[in-house]
A and B are shown apart, each in its own frame.
Chain A
Amino acid sequence: DIQMTQSPSTLSASVGDRVTITCRASQSITSWLAWYQQKPGKAPKLLIYEASDLESGAPSRFSGSGSGTEFTLTISSLQPDDFATYYCQQYNSYPLTFGGGTKVEIK
């Protein structure tokens, strides 16, 4: 199984900050990586797929990069609506696996 490791697990930031979250795969997944945002009590929302493609309707301040085993999600200017937990997910092979999550908190 492919293990997905996110860092940091918690991140404290202020509105307007540039924020970067890292996701590492235990083996190469080429570009088969997605990012989701989840708020408490709500279902996750797809932000990024194929490592860097922005999902329709997702704000352009979100961007993704990387390939192989190292990936990043960047929020260019953190907005109040962005305080949430973010998950990466590999879809290179079954079983599909998620990272442990990164909680973005208000500083």
Chain B
Amino acid sequence: EVQLLESGGGFVQPGGSLRLSCAASGFTFSSYAMSWVRQAPGKGLEWVSAISGSGGSTYYADSVQGRFTISRDNSKNTVYLQMNSLRGEDTAVYYCAKGAPTTVFDSWGQGNPVTVSS
């Protein structure tokens, strides 16, 4: 059974940083792209970033380009999202999602709330 367990969210002031982690199990992690998708309170889904199975290719939404960095450690079956220069509009529930095999998401984490506020 595929499991994606997210951690690292919480409360941070504007301009601050957070690192989200997503620990995966139940599949051959290095064979699949992974993405982060977020959902602001009461709003729809917004794709944030993706990384290829090898980690050699990364992609970002314009709204986070230059502020967020996606990475993965295939030896630990974990994908990360380093979020810097956080803004109020980054407040959302962040989901990690498994690619099937790349850009369709067949498994999702439980969601990790991030609140950016002074």
Contacts and interface: CB of A to CB of B under 8 A. Distances in A.
Given A94-B59, A96-B35, 14 more contacts: A36-B45, A38-B45, A46-B105, A46-B106, A49-B104, A89-B45, A91-B103, A91-B104, A95-B47, A95-B59, A98-B44, A98-B45, A99-B44, A101-B44
Range, interface on chain B: 20 to 34
- Top 10 closest pairs, chain A to chain B, by CB: A43-B108, A91-B103, A96-B47, A98-B45, A101-B44, A94-B59, A49-B104, A34-B104, A46-B106, A95-B61
Interface string A13-44: 00000000000000000000010101000011
Interface string A46-74: 10011000010000000000000000000
Interface of A: 1, 34, 36, 38, 43-46, 49-50, 55, 87, 89, 91, 94-101
A43 B100 CA distance: 16
B62 to A, nearest CB: 7
Contacts of B103: 91, 94, 96
Contacts of B35: 96
A55 B110 CA distance: 20
- Name which of A34, A50, A95 has the most chain B CB atoms within 10 A of its CB: A95
